[in-house]
Amino acid sequence: MSVSPVGNRGMLSEEAERNGLMAKGAGGGGQIYMIALIFAIIVICGLMGLIYHFSQEVEEITKKHVSAQKKYEDERDKTKDAIRERDEWRRLISGSPQPLDPNNYTNVMDEAAAKLEEILKPNWVQDAQFSEDIQRLNIKKKGKYDSIGELHKDLLNELQAVIHVIPRLQREREKARKEAENIRKEKDQIRTKKDEEIRKLRNELTREQDKALEQARQFDAEKKRLTDEIARLQAEKNKVIQDFKIREARLDSEITRLQQRIEEIIKKEKKSFAEASTADGEILFTEERTGYAWIDIGKKHGLRRGTRFETFQFIKGGRQKLKGMVEVKTVEEEISQVAILDIPVKVTNPATEETYLVQPDPFDPIVKGDLIRSPLFDAEEVPTFVFLGSKLSGKLYDLPELQRKIEEFGGNVDRNVTIDTDFVVALEGAEEENPDEFRNAVQFGVIFLREEELLDFVGR
């Protein structure tokens, strides 16, 4: 039996109201109020006891449910293990976890007997005992197997049906071994014969090698004879060269005397690069936005990357106007790309020896048709340079580095001025330290370059 707490509260409220009214009406009914309060407390205690009893029963039921659930899970695990074990036995017996069918064993035995019969079909294996055993096996194969033991027994019977073949197979193996032995002997005989042929061929090879060695000795002897002949001819050549040098020295002395005479008769002036040089090429077109231009010289002319050219044009009166400097950046077969350098170019007046800078004029830029020239480039031949003087005014390079720079650009550096000299690089004290070489350069019409001009062309 259960009592609603809401109902109890309603009853108590009504009882309290009645008690209040009675107290108010009677003026002293406290005993009735106390009885009602005690009754309410007893009811509440009963309800609490009833709730405790119900909670105990619920807890007991929960424990039983948990125990039953655990027992169910244990049984389920045992069932899974049993099913897995059953499938393993099925797989072991029939190769598949599917349910077993006794007809499968009969099919397996039929296939096994047919395979054995096919293997043992040759006449040298067949005999009466084998046929009798096969017939005996076929009696059982008409029925079904009731157990694995029966299947095992039939398998043993099949094995016994073929065991008698083993001795015959051993005899055949012995026969095959003897045949193999005969083949091996024949093979050894053939090997012996081939070894003899190889020995003969090696002897023939040895004779040919001896013959080649003899020819090599004859060749060495002939080579020594020719070497001695070459040495003799070389000695004669050296003698001829020595006589020629003596004669050449005499002619040089005569030439020097005649040059001095010519110098007395004709006074020549020293030629500057700007006056005596000719154009090596011209500007094909320019790209003002990028600062690059293209020239009509390329790989086939022997141009090298990094070569610098002066750009100039002829103006009124046949005079030359220097416009700036360009440097080769990309070399193609017949044309090359150059960068227009925004650097001043030093120019020396040969008459007054005055040096001044030519700044690139933005209002007169390098354009198509302008000519280019460089002492480091010659499409026809390798230009030859001679340094006169020993003191460099610049601090960027020493003399060996400057000479190597010229060679990197394809030029050749010589020690003395000759008729083949193209340029003389006049360093400080060139005329005082090398008066004869300086005078020869003037007489031969060699073009003079100042140190600063050369530095402009090799790049600083």
Q: Which of 111, 135, 163 lies at the terminal end of a domain, its last residue?
A: 163
pLDDT value, residue 327? 93
Q: What is the pLDDT of residues 45-64, one digit of tens each?
A: 888 888 888 888 888 888 88
Domain-embedded: residue 44: yes
Residue 431 binned pLDDT confidence (cut-offs 50, 70, 90)? confident
Domain-embedded: residue 252: no
Average pLDDT over residues 198-203: 92
* The one-letter amino acid at 45: C
Domain-embedded: residue 264: no
Q: Please, which residues have CB within 8 angstroms of residue 329's CB and are 6 or more apart in sequence?
A: 292, 305, 336, 337, 338, 339
Measured CA to CA in angstroms, residue 412 lies from 212, 363, 434 at distances of: 50, 38, 20
Same-domain check for residues 348 and 430: yes
Whether 193 shows a pLDDT value over 60: the answer reads: yes
Q: How far apart are CA 18 and CA 29, in angstroms?
A: 11
Same-domain check for residues 13 and 109: no
Q: How far apart are CA 120 and CA 248, in angstroms?
A: 111
What average pLDDT does the structure give for the chain?
Answer: 79
Same-domain check for residues 59 and 149: no
Domain-embedded: residue 392: yes
Domain-embedded: residue 359: yes
Position with higher pLDDT, 52 vs 98: 52
Q: Which of 127-136, 209-218, 448-457 has the highest mean pLDDT?
A: 209-218
pLDDT value, residue 124? 46
Domain-embedded: residue 289: yes
Q: Which of 38, 63, 78 lies at the terminal end of a domain, its last residue?
A: 78
Q: What is the pLDDT of residues 247-295, one digit of tens each?
A: 888 888 888 777 766 665 445 567 777 777 788 999 999 988 889 999 9
Same-domain check for residues 146 and 292: no
Structure tokens of 291? Answer: 């600062």
Average pLDDT over residues 384-412: 87
Same-domain check for residues 344 and 440: yes
Same-domain check for residues 423 and 336: yes
Domain-embedded: residue 230: no
Number of domains, the chain: 3
Same-domain check for residues 353 and 452: yes
pLDDT value, residue 450? 86
* Range(s) of the domain holding residue 355: 271-458
Same-domain check for residues 156 and 47: no
Same-domain check for residues 28 and 149: no
CATH code: domain of residue 421: 3.40.50.10190
Residue at token pair 């001025």: 417
Domain-embedded: residue 197: no
Tell me the three state secondary structure of residue 287.
strand
- 3-class SS string, 313-324: EECHHHCEEEEE
Same-domain check for residues 346 and 305: yes
pTM above threshold 0.75: no
Same-domain check for residues 384 and 301: yes
Q: Please, which residues have CB within 8 angstroms of residue 445's CB and are 6 or more apart in sequence?
A: 268, 271, 276
Contact 440, 410 (CB under 8 A): no
Whether 7 shows a pLDDT value over 50: the answer reads: no
